[in-house]
Amino acid sequence: MALQGVMDALKRTTLQEIGVSFSLSDIIKDIRISGDDVYIKIFSPSEKYYDYLREKIKSTLKPLGAKHIEVEFSQEPPVQRQTQPPPPPPPQNPFENRRRIPKVDKVILVASGKGGVGKSTVAVNIASALRRLGYNVGYLDADMYGPSGPTMFGAKDKKVIAKETPEGTKIIAPEAHGVKVMSIGFLLPSEDTPVIWRGPVLFKALTQFLFDIDWGEENLDFLVVDLPPGTGDIQITIGQTVEVDGAIIVTTPQDVALIDVKKGIQMFNEVQIPIIGVVENMSYFICPDSGKKYEIFGKSKTADVAKDYSTELLGQIPTDPKVAEFSDLGIPVVLAKEDSTVTQEFLSIARKLVEKLTRKGA
Ligand SMILES: Nc1ncnc2c1ncn2[C@@H]1O[C@H](COP(=O)(O)OP(=O)(O)O)[C@@H](O)[C@H]1O
Ligand SMILES: [Mg+2]
């Protein structure tokens, strides 16, 4: 048996039964062929996939004439996949391969330097605020390391349906509170899926995934994409493959967080994505007893930094226990029947965003 033939067959496999969208060839650690005998070492993060993977390999290779098939497992992901950087951009114009996401008018990225600053909270509530302003809105949780958006929308257990179309398989985005919600987390079999599936292997699936979602009959006016934290390969790859209309950077007011804001702005400048502005979260706390405003992290310098980098502070969201409470309940605070400062602030940010993205006539 020829190695190429075996590799091609492994590449054509799908592992959809266990909820992942890559093939056996993506998780091979080692393969040796001697006559009709095949030895394969394959990556699996958990023993619970061993039987499935062994059978899948056998049913793929038997038709090719394989007699003796030996399968070994490794819990270490394939090395070259883990460290492989995205393909180097061609020197002339690294962005010429950018594609528009079908049926989406404006794509907005929500980024942050690190996790825990409230990026998902901001992304979910900006999407909800745009919805409240009457727009047709989608929210995509692309944070494979901690997809929490579906929980915040109460959409964690929504059924995701795939449908075959002339353009290939499309995944239909379920709706929650009037917003179309999709998450890279929906591709995972369950919440306790080992984090390693989420890393190197899913990264490859992500950019394709972005183009395979069916957002419904009508075009989306806005798609809000909740990016993984940081300024790494994923952000840059998205920047190079997707046509994006603008990015929002979420931060908290501490000085250390501002370093990440600068890094974020520089990264988006490098991939030529316009920056809509910076949203500061957990800016202050209003004591419910006295109504007094406390700037817990000191006086904010975010507005100055934003200005230094030719962008602006779009808004400041106070720390409010209601935000977390409603998130846990699965209703974004902006869509809950209450009218707090937080809600007003998100609506104001959404109005600015609409103004900025439509003013250019782009
Ligand atoms: N303005 C806020 N007031 C109170 N709690 C908040 C606020 N913003 C975020 N949180 C809470 O902080 C935690 C982290 O927020 P999250 O949006 O998940 O962060 P990230 O996506 O950056 O990791 C969540 O429990 C969330 O409910
Ligand atoms: Mg998050």
Q: What CATH fold (topology level) applies to the domain 104-359?
A: Rossmann fold (3.40.50)
Question: Would you say the CB of residue 327 lies under 6 angstroms from ligand 1?
Answer: yes
Percent of the chain residues topping a pLDDT of 90:
59
Residue 148 Cα to ligand 1 midpoint, Å, equals 10
Instruction: Kindly list the distances between the CA atom of residue 131 and the CA atoms of 125, 202, 280, in Å, as whole numbers in the listed order.
Output: 9, 29, 21
Every domain of the chain with CATH number 3.30.300.130 lies at 3-77
Residue 187 Cα to ligand 2 midpoint, Å, equals 17
Residue 191 Cα to ligand 1 midpoint, Å, equals 19
Q: What is the pLDDT of residues 207-261, one digit of tens each?
A: 778 888 999 999 999 999 999 898 877 788 888 889 999 999 999 998 888 899 9
pTM: 0.77
Q: What is the pLDDT of residues 291-334, one digit of tens each?
A: 899 998 888 999 999 999 999 999 999 999 999 999 999 999 99
Which residue minimizes the CA distance to atom 15 of ligand 1?
A: 118
**Tally: H helices and E strands in the chain:** 12, 15
Pocket test residue of 112, 119, 120, 121 for ligand 1, highest count of atoms within 8 A of CB: 121
Every domain of the chain with CATH number 3.40.50.300 lies at 104-359
Q: How is residue 115 written in tokens?
A: 């996790």
Instruction: Kindly list the distances between the CA atom of residue 3 and the CA atoms of 69, 87, 134, in Å, as whole numbers in the listed order.
Output: 14, 25, 56
Contact 45, 76 (CB under 8 A): no
Contact 61, 27 (CB under 8 A): no
Tokens 């929002």, located at residue: 248
Q: Could you say which ligand is closest to the alpha carbon of residue 230?
A: 1
DSSP string for residues in 53-84: HHHHHHHHHGGGT--EEEEEEESSPPHHHHHP
Contact 281, 292 (CB under 8 A): no
Q: What is the pLDDT of residues 166-211, one digit of tens each?
A: 888 888 999 999 999 999 877 765 656 555 555 555 666 677 788 8
Question: Would you say the CB of residue 343 lies under 6 angstroms from ligand 1?
Answer: no
Spatial separation of the C-alpha atoms in residues 97 and 293, rounded to whole Å: 49
- How wide is the angle at C-alpha 47 spanned by C-alphas 44 and 52, nearest 5°? 75
Q: How is residue 309 written in tokens?
A: 């980098």
Per CATH, the homologous superfamily of domain 3-77 is Fe-S cluster assembly (FSCA) (3.30.300.130)
Cα-to-chain-centroid distance, residue 126 = 16
Instruction: Kindly list the distances between the CA atom of residue 359 and the CA atoms of 122, 222, 307, 352, in Å, as whole numbers in the listed order.
Output: 23, 15, 20, 10
